[in-house]
Structure 1
Amino acid sequence: MNELDEARDAATAQILCARSDTCLRPNIAGFFDEATNTVSYVVSDPATSEAAVIDSVLDYEAASGRTSNGSADRIVEYVAANDLTVTWHIETHAHADHISAAPYLQEKLGGKLAIGKGIIRVQEVFGKLFNAGTDFERDGSQFDHLFCDGEAFSIGELKGIALHVPGHTPADMAFIIGDAAFVCDTLFMPDFGTARADFPGGDARQLFRSIRRILALPRETRLFLCHDYKAPGRDEYAWETTVALQREHNVHVKDGVTEDEFVAMRTARDATLDMPTLILPSVQVNIRGGRLPEPEDNGVSYIKIPVNAV
């Protein structure tokens, strides 16, 4: 990322805000799932009550293989209570720590399912890992829409833009909506740092550049995070911060940290981390748009666990 690119992205955000006398401020409700440390969001336009659901969670019990909809039903209840119309179900990437509830929520609430165009590369990598066969399409067709870098979209009168922010995975996208940005698995709270970059297709150097792209947004931009793990010494979960706070205080990537310093830190840290508990079921389902593999001849869907392959 060079200075010209950073200036371009900051200018884009300023243009979005300048479309009215004041920057449009969406209503944002966060739903924290402690089992997976994941935050789902409902983002709505105060003027029209149109809404988007971002990164929903399907409850999954690994020991029994059973799914349930408690987390998703909290979103359904919120949408109904606030008389919202859902037009988008947005996945910031193919998550490795939880299964998406988007198909269930689409059935209940309507709306289009969308993800970044980089999902095609992720489908190629994991389609091979899971030996998914020729019936598994590797073209993103499981989703209603594939966002490209810099693509504009709307939620009612709210203006949004999708930014490709790879590094954690090749498909990560951040979404700027009004005065807020949903930054995918790039940044965590300033006292916890940044996302890992050691998954297939991940790259610490690319992650640093993606983060600097986000931090080129106006300093007052609200940042909403995918996860929180409570940094040592902090007793409460948190998932909202700002560009200014990240630039001043992020323990991994605040202003003054060089790209080489970040890459060395991130590479060493990632080497100590275990794989997420639900990575194999989660990715296997999420590359299918949150849909389980097709049932076999006994009517049961099966999730594969490749042995000694990861």
Structure 2
Amino acid sequence: MAAFNLTPSDPSTFTLTGIPGLEAAHIWISIPFSMFYIIGLLGNFTLLFVVGKEQTLHKPMYLLLCLLAVTEIGTSTSIVPNALCILWFNLKGITVGGCLTQMFFLHAGTVMHSAVLVTMAFDRYVAICKPLRYTTILTNARIAKLGLVGLIRAVLCILPLPLLLSRQPFCANRIIPHTYCDHMAVAKLSCGDITVNRMYVLVIAFVVNGSDLTLIADLSYSLIIRAVLRISSKKAHQKALNTCTAHICVMLMSYPSFFFSTLTHRFGQGIAPHIHIILANLYFLLPTMFNPIIYGVKNKELREKMGKYTCRMYSPGVTDFNPV
């Protein structure tokens, strides 16, 4: 998406500045950014490879992990390579079409990510509250249909954003103080009325993502907690709650940072721009890096399978054996 460093006055391009106020430190900032991105790619591709190779992992829970991994690879890849071109090579120009395309993929990925988290919460609810019916309620085919519904929802919700902006007249100043084409950062460059744009983004943030969070909290975890409290065994309590720990950790990394990034564009004038931009980038980088680690640590079956392939990688001469 990054074009050659074109002039800001070119009507067919925007200019992404990177991180305003920290231009001298761009190279140093790029080091953790690139490390987080590479670790995230390795972790998610390893997860996809292991689940794809192991027939025993072809289950709804692991298919949801793969769907989460694909979503995170897509959203991080839509912004990080272009951001690194800015930080490393000062290639700040991006075409209007490239900017709107980047905007669509990163925001659609955010909505899709939220849909996957809702489906994972439903998976945990069925596993804990209706364990005997788990295999009949959640089949691989049903997970695929839910994933398709989530994708269609993401496309339909986000497609109006670039379409609305493509009809806006932009002023001579086409400099975007950001590392990627966030919707509101681009909308603020318009000379026209962006009230509809502002309202639509708030609707997406609070109606779509807010309703997803409500579904997770009220219709999943409230029922899970109620079911767990009915169990008399403390060991069963711990086992049931442990199955939700990874999902809760992923949500705590995703939703608070999403709402913070969304609201600071509108109400966070007191926050330094470089702080907001760094946190906005970390919103896409940290979950991508940590989610495979979290699920790899918390899920014994997945951890053992990933360990097997890791051992093969570092010890190619070692063959599989069946322990007694």
> TM-score, normalising length from structure 2?
0.26
Richer in strand (by share): 1
Richer in helix (by share): 2
> TM-score, normalising length from structure 1?
0.27
Q: Mark the structure with the bigger radius of gyration.
A: 2
Higher relative contact order (CA 8 A, sep 6+): 2
